[in-house]
Structure 1
Amino acid sequence: MNIYIYIFNFVTREKKKKPRTPSLNTPISPRSSSPLFSILISHPRRISSSSPSSSAPPPPRAPIPFPDCAAAAAAAAMGMGPLENAVVEAPAEAVGGGGVGGGSYAVLQCGEDSEYVRKAYGGYFEVFRALLAEDGERWRVYRAVRGELPAEEEAAGIDGFVISGSCSDAHGEEPWILALVDLIRRQHAAGKRILGVCFGHQVLCRALGGKTGRSKKGWDIGVNCIHPTAAMARLFAPIKLPVHMPIIEFHQDEVWELPPQAEVLARSDMTGVEMFRLGNRAMGVQGHPEYSKDILMSIADRLLRNNLILDCQVDVAKASFDVRQPDKDLWKKVCRGFLKGRVQSPQQQQHQKQQKAAQLVL
């Protein structure tokens, strides 16, 4: 209860220091000076990542009381304490073969660049390259949201695909989404590596036989701690994963049902399937390993101006960064390791050493 009081007092104090001043054209969200005042929330459309809002409105959500926003910030503190730096231990299992350096990769961009990201970073493609690209590699972008996808001949020369976030529903029926689902199925069957992020995580699940939909818990915005399963600990044994993996989240859809034979890699208090994999070639991450605080807040402020989220939700997101920071270096290792097939178990590493030693003897 003390942490709830602390977070609520922090949010209240910040409001007094930095009052919001909406423009004349900005709809003002309902507010009350009493923390016990209930605000009715309906989400007129879904914004799961960084792009303009979808035109298809979802069913209205049930009312959510204002104190739940403060409670959400307090929930971000879950996992702090003596286990914060602990490591998940489990027998090792390899991601799969693959060499270091070189390779050809493609980002399938499922949302348009925001003005802020375009000016600050050069677009979301550059944001993903900063997270994933290394010297000697070839990277290209296809604007999947505009119907741009690689032809079969092009796809044959690509080693791995990254599917970005989007404002659209992964369970939607827009032509570009259906074309993307078809491409995912064909490339997965061809043995290509696929990494899905946020919307990409969800549409990857759909394409491989799972189900997605609205989260019963509503929006998840800010830094959240996800918890790796034993399966993930085995998969990434050389990295020695911590018990808590902070990541930036911005979504209100989620995976409902895994594809056949897929397994959960991570969970959180908000979302049951934060990560999953199907074999060693497909992995989904619900959060945004590529995001930074400024990107998240630019999106949140834009949605707030358009009355798509509440200002208390923006306060919760800001407060979450005061509790912890996303572990960008850890997520680089995880995402690069899977996409490029480089994560090896200790047994594989020992086997390679033995092979090299045997070659020297010969």
Structure 2
Amino acid sequence: MKIGILQTGHSPDELKDDLGDYGDMFVELLRDQGFEFEIFSVVDNQFPASVEEADGWLITGSKHGAYEDHDWIPPLEELIREIAGIGDPLIGVCFGHQIIAQALGGKVEKFAGGWAVGRQSYDFGGVEMAFNAWHQDQVTERPEGAKVLASNDFCENAVLLYGDQILTIQPHPEFGSAFIDGLINTRGKGVVPQDQLDAAATKLDLPVANESFADQMADFFRKERA
């Protein structure tokens, strides 16, 4: 099965050589799942020629806002609607989570409550799972038919499921502690309140459920659909 990774941003230059770009992180996360991958850097207007170029799709995170005026966002939203229309599996992470919701009729905003940075716990119907997060924007209005799979007090729409075809998650199952540490010392400075950066730094050694969610992502891609 071939997964097309729609890369919507780049990791900081200071981290890219050692820890990879955003698309590379998902190749690494799903490395043992038996998939073939192709990365399309849509943030640089490198789009697939058609939705037939992959069997499933994944949209990465980004430093950009889904509501911002970039020339690559409208065609990405069109591609999302096309993928949804033909029924191919689609997974979105952070920005991917947000742009899918926006493309399908939801609303994304800069959250009045501020930032979520570093390790956060989420309630998956009574089961707690922790992931690294790095976001201020949130899905504040769900598209019709989107079901909440996980949330916490800060982020109501943390994980959404659209039928059996689209799965999206606000935190980052692809971010390990080394990358969060790097973000704290690069993009975080002067942008995220220092007390939040300091608090995130104290949790770098705590476990996260990245591998468990990678298995869920792989199962979702491979799921038989009508």
**TM-score normalised by L of structure 2:** 0.93
Distance 2:20 2:195 in 1: 30
Structure with higher Rg: it is 1
> Which residue number corresponds to residue 256 of structure 1?
140
> Which residue number corresponds to residue 205 of structure 1?
101
Is the aligned partner of 1:311 residue 2:209? no
Q: How does 1:320-359 map to 2 (within 5 A)?
A: 320-321=203-204, 324-341=206-223
> Which residue number corresponds to residue 112 of structure 1?
10
What is the percent sequence identity of the aligned residues? 28
Q: How does 1:219-298 map to 2 (within 5 A)?
A: 219-229=115-125, 243-298=127-182
Q: What stretches of structure 1 of length at least 5 have no aligned partner?
A: 1-102, 230-241, 344-362
Amino acid in the other structure paired with 1:184: I
Secondary structure class of the residue paired with 2:29: helix
**Contact 2:9–2:60 (CA under 8 A) maintained in structure 1:** yes
Distance 2:148 2:176 in 1: 25
Cα deviation digits, residues 221-267 of structure 1 (max 9, x gap): 010110013xxxxxxxxxxxx71001101000101111111111100
**Bigger share in helix:** 1
> Which residue number corresponds to residue 166 of structure 1?
62
Report the CA distance between 1:122 and its aligned residue: 3.7
Distance 1:342 1:269, change over 3 A: farther
Report the CA distance between 1:329 and its aligned residue: 2.1
**Contact 1:117–1:124 (CA under 8 A) maintained in structure 2:** no
Distance 2:103 2:33 in 1: 31
**Contact 1:113–1:124 (CA under 8 A) maintained in structure 2:** yes
**Bigger share in strand:** 2
Distance 1:249 1:212, change over 3 A: same
Secondary structure class of the residue paired with 1:303: coil
Identify the range of structure 1 (171-180 vs 115-124) with the bigger mean alpha-carbon deviation.
115-124
Secondary structure class of the residue paired with 1:249: strand
**Contact 1:125–1:141 (CA under 8 A) maintained in structure 2:** yes
Distance 1:304 1:189 in 2: 38
**TM-score normalised by L of structure 1:** 0.59
Amino acid in the other structure paired with 1:110: T
**Contact 2:33–2:218 (CA under 8 A) maintained in structure 1:** no
Q: How does 1:156-195 map to 2 (within 5 A)?
A: 156-195=52-91
Amino acid in the other structure paired with 1:108: L
Distance 2:69 2:20 in 1: 30
Report the CA distance between 1:135 and its aligned residue: 6.0
Report the CA distance between 1:209 and its aligned residue: 1.2
Report the CA distance between 1:158 and its aligned residue: 0.9
Q: What stretches of structure 2 of length at least 5 have no aligned partner?
A: none
Secondary structure class of the residue paired with 1:255: strand
Report the CA distance between 1:325 and its aligned residue: 1.7
**Contact 2:67–2:109 (CA under 8 A) maintained in structure 1:** yes
Q: How does 1:53-92 map to 2 (within 5 A)?
A: none
Secondary structure class of the residue paired with 1:325: coil
Report the CA distance between 1:136 and its aligned residue: 4.7
Report the CA distance between 1:342 and its aligned residue: 6.8
**Contact 1:133–1:139 (CA under 8 A) maintained in structure 2:** no
Identify the range of structure 1 (201-210 vs 313-322) with the bigger mean alpha-carbon deviation.
313-322
Structure 1: 4+ residue segments shifted above 3 A: 133-136
How many aligned residue pairs are there? 225
